[in-house]
Amino acid sequence: MAEARPEVAAAVAGLAADLREWLAWADDTGALEVPAFDAPPTAAPARVAHSRPQTAPGQAAGGFARSGPSPAVAGAPRPAQPGRARLAQAPARAPGAPDESLEQVRAELGECDRCPLHAGRRNIVFGVGSPVAELMLIGEGPGQHEDMTGEPFVGRSGQLLTRMLGAIGFERSAVYIANVVKCRPPGNRDPEPNEVARCSPFLHRQIQAIRPRVIMTLGRFAAQNIVGRDGTLGELRRQLHAYQQIPVVVSYHPSYLLRTPAAKRQAWEDLLKVRELLRGV
């Protein structure tokens, strides 16, 4: 019997690895369907490397493990609705200013009272994770558990997010996690435009300090504010976006996935997009 060609054997091995990861994800989260996979790159590593890349952020972004054509990078954003603050329109530092660390950003934030949200908070939820992370996750705002602990994405949503990251080879400590606003909105409502406007310069500076290779937004509100576009989450998911030349993958908030298990199939596809972008294929 003739031996399989090396490239065929490598492709089969890659597909088998993808299937094993999917089965672990499905078993852990209750996802109901198996997505179709394109053949992975023959030289792709088994896990994502976490070292700082040599290329500029956003360079060499390519193939996605998904069925159908790869999404195009989104073009010019639609004009923002009047009165709606957009992070993408709010650079916080002058061009050419020296790099600053997360510690410097946190020190300048201080015990913030720049918007009304400070009145009802227990803790500022600044962000957590690696200061040299290749992947940055951005949600909308702290909830009750986050307000109590001062850390983003804890409780059941945080546990699911940790498992999602593990499914593509990431420890939670290897990424950086933050929110559009750093204080809990009352009743977990969407933040108001003036609240986003006060917080957005600090998130912008966090992104500048970390220089991630990929940003993943979690939930509609975070997606709209990071990419500067209106639309439903389903519409925004269809395209690959960019923030300051950094690729942005739009996905569901873990709390939505807990309420809507059928959406976990789409969330898995989003995770595969992130993985392939980080592989730089």
Q: Domain segments of the chain: what residues?
A: 60-279
**Looking at residue 27, what is its pLDDT?**
53
Q: Packing angle between helix 155-167 and helix 6-29, nearest 10 degrees?
A: 170
What's the rounded Cα separation, in Å, for the pair 97 and 102?
Answer: 15
Is 90:199 a contact under the CB 8 Å cutoff?
Answer: no
Q: Are 211 and 57 in contact (CB under 8 A)?
A: yes
Q: DSSP letters along 149-190, please?
A: HS-SS-HHHHHHHHHHHHHTT--GGGSEEEESSSSPPGGGPP
User: Residue 3: what pLDDT?
Assistant: 60
| pLDDT (0 to 100) of residue 97 | 63
pLDDT in tens, the chain (281 residues): 556 677 766 766 666 665 665 555 555 544 444 444 443 433 333 333 333 433 333 333 333 233 333 344 454 444 444 444 455 544 445 555 668 999 999 999 999 999 999 999 999 999 999 999 999 999 999 999 999 999 999 999 999 999 999 999 999 999 999 999 999 999 989 999 999 999 999 999 999 999 999 999 999 999 999 999 999 999 999 999 999 999 999 999 999 999 999 999 999 999 999 999 999 85
Rama region for 176: left / alpha / beta (φ>0; ψ in -120 to 50; rest): beta
User: Was domain 60-279 assigned CATH 3.40.470.10?
Assistant: yes
- pLDDT for res 162: 97
Smallest CA-to-CA distance from 250 within 99, 107, 95, 140 is with: 140
Three-state SS at 260: coil
pLDDT of 8 reads 67
pTM: 0.72
Cross-sheet strand order for the sheet of 135-139: 128-129, 176-179, 135-139, 214-218, 246-251, 241-243
| Predicted local confidence at residue 93, as pLDDT | 54
pLDDT for position 44: 37
Question: Which pLDDT score, from 0 to 100, does residue 136 have?
Answer: 99
